[in-house]
Amino acid sequence: MTVYPALPDDYTILALETSCDETAAAIVRGGRTIVANVVATQLDAHRRYGGIVPEVASRQHILSLPPVLAEALAALPNRWDDIHAIATTYGPGLSGALLTGLNTAKALAWQRGLPLVGVNHLEGHIYASWLLPEPDQTPQDVPEPQFPLIALVVSGGHTVLALVRGHGEYHLLGQTRDDAVGEAFDKVARILGLGFPGGPAIQQAAEGVQGASSLPRAWLRDSYDFSFSGLKTAVLHKVQERQQQEAKIVPPAESRGRRGGKPRPSDEVAPAEQPAPRPPQHDQFVQQMAYAFQESVVDVLTTKTVEAAVQYSAKEIVLAGGVAANVRLRAELTRRAAVPVRYPPIQLCTDNAAMIAAAAFYRYQVGVQQGWHLDVQPGLALGAGPSDD
Ligand code: KG4
Ligand code: ZN
């Protein structure tokens, strides 16, 4: 077995992340200290379509990469002379989007004669928990996560429960059989008319709601797999039922007044000219649906993660990915787990390049490095390596 010497504490990695709709560059020292973390979000470019459009994403990455990279490098006194290696996400993600980051990283590494480290995006999310959350903290202030640990990676494209026995040692316990959790949040938000991205919108709508009706939970007994499409359909059916009820209770046009009150002259218009005002309880219904949906998701995710931690005697649970920003999920997992639960600050839960640099540090430390033939792998699984390496 080859024994690799530990990398020095000041080993500095420049990483790029372009797998989806965030163009990101970051510089991380010693795998844990963030020197620069720049993220240019494309949300506004995609919001009008209600979801991410791959072609728009690729084009936007090409435009954003140079300024994002320049801003990250400006944090180093000697710019390129302070960088020891280049890292980039090579999968999973949108192929065109991944290509922009990978090709940029290759060009930079080639030009500067630096090693190139390809990182799995899901692994990157897990390593966000290795980063020091506050700028004034030192690695001594915050101990590294302890193996074996259970990682729950919940993002817009993935829902993965894994046992992590050491750096790069992943054992997949379960994953979604249909929609990813973040995808379910986004779709349900669209059904409820809450906008995009759905996760933060649903969380906000559910705030302060109490005693709402409950929605089903897909337990898939004796398995660590998940399923969220039935839950999404249940919300859709409730919304359709509600719309049918509303249609039945709307009084005839000639007797209809504002918000059900007495008719006034200005209200006496044909329905086609003036749409019926929404009943006042509409918002409350949306809030209750958002609450019930979030509770159902959080219950299933938490129950399975806590069970896995007990079964595999995990020392910690690491919550990762965009949905790890959900405050209800964080709170419930922390309340129910018997071991410490770690999750990154919100800006490190969603896509960023600092997490890619952190993962690259621990991969490169054990000799993992890629050649110029490294290609994007849109369907890359956690624990899998480059297909042609
Ligand atoms: O990890 P991420 O930034 O991108 C992917 O790799 O997919 O995750 C994005 C997902 C979106 O589906 C978004 O709705 C969800 O994370 N998300 C949340 C919250 N913030 C972001 N879901 C639930 N609650 C939140 N607070
Ligand atoms: Zn992600």
What residue type is 147 in one-letter code? F
How many Å lie between the centroid of ligand 2 and the Cα of residue 349? Answer: 8
**Residue 92 beta carbon below 6 angstroms from any ligand 1 atom:** no
Q: Look at residues 382, 347, 327, 361 and name the one whose alpha carbon lies nearest to residue 134.
A: 347
Q: Which residues surround ligand 2, an ion (CB under 5 A)?
A: 155, 351
Q: Which atom of ligand 1 is found nearest the CA of 182?
A: 12
125, two tokens: 């999310």
Residue 33 beta carbon below 6 angstroms from any ligand 1 atom: no
Question: How many CA atoms lie within 13 Å of 204's alpha carbon, on the beta-carbon side?
Answer: 10
3 CA from centroid of ligand 1 (Å)? 38
What is residue 273's predicted lDDT score, i.e. its pLDDT?
A: 37
Q: Is 180 exposed, middle or buried (0-12, 13-18, 19+ CB in 10 A)?
A: buried
Question: Exposed/middle/buried for 8, CB within 10 Å: 0-12, 13-18, 19+?
Answer: exposed
Residues 6+ apart with CB under 8 A from 348: 37, 128, 131, 133, 354, 355
Pocket test for ligand 1, best of 323, 329, 355 (most atoms within 8 A of CB): 323
What's the order of all strands across the beta sheet hosting 341-342?
A: 169-175, 159-166, 149-154, 316-320, 341-342
Residue 270: predicted pLDDT = 37
Residue 373: predicted pLDDT: 94
Distance 97 CA to ligand 2 centre (A): 13
Closest ligand (CA of 329): 1
> Is the CB of residue 185 below 6 angstroms from any atom belonging to ligand 1?
yes
Cα of 321 vs centre of ligand 2, distance in Å, is 5
Regarding the beta carbon of 352 and ligand 1, being less than 6 Å apart is answered no
337 CA to centre of ligand 2 in angstroms: 24
Q: Is 325 in the pocket of ligand 1 (CB under 6 A)?
A: yes
Per the structure block, which two tokens stand in for 272? Answer: 């086609």
- Residue intervals in the chain for CATH 3.30.420.40: 12-133+344-365, 174-262+279-342
Q: What does the longest C-alpha to C-alpha distance in the chain come to?
A: 88
- Ligand 1 centroid–CA 321 distance in Å is 7
Cα(343) to ligand 2 centroid in Å equals 14
Cβ of 322 below 6 Å from ligand 1: yes
**Torsion on CA atoms 375, 106, 12, 163, rounded to nearest 10:** 0
Q: Which residue's CA is minimally distant from atom 19 of ligand 1?
A: 199
pLDDT of the chain, 389 residues: tens digit per residue:
677 778 889 999 999 999 998 999 999 999 999 999 999 988 787 777 777 788 888 999 999 999 999 999 999 999 999 999 999 999 999 999 999 999 999 999 999 999 999 999 999 999 999 999 998 999 999 999 999 999 999 999 999 999 999 999 999 999 999 999 999 999 999 999 998 889 999 999 999 898 777 899 999 999 999 999 999 999 999 999 988 888 877 655 544 433 333 333 333 333 333 444 343 345 899 999 999 999 999 999 999 999 999 999 999 999 999 999 999 999 999 999 999 999 999 999 999 999 999 999 999 998 888 989 999 999 999 988 787 54
Q: Residue 233 has what pLDDT?
A: 96
- Domain made up of 12-133+344-365: CATH architecture: 2-Layer Sandwich (3.30)
CATH classification code of 174-262+279-342: 3.30.420.40
Q: Which ligand is nearest to the CA of 183?
A: 1
Pocket of ligand 1 contains residue 351 by CB under 6 Å? yes
Ligand 2 midpoint to CA 24 (Å):
12
CA of 366 to the centre of ligand 2 (A): 24
Q: 312-327 burial string, b = 16+ CB within 10 Å, else e? A: bebebbbbbbbbbbbe
Mutating to test ligand 1, I would choose from 185, 187, 204, 296 the residue with most ligand atoms within 8 A of its C-beta, which is 185
Nearest CA to ligand 1 atom 14: 199
Ligand nearest to the CA of 52: 1
CA of 252 from ligand 2 middle (Å) equals 50
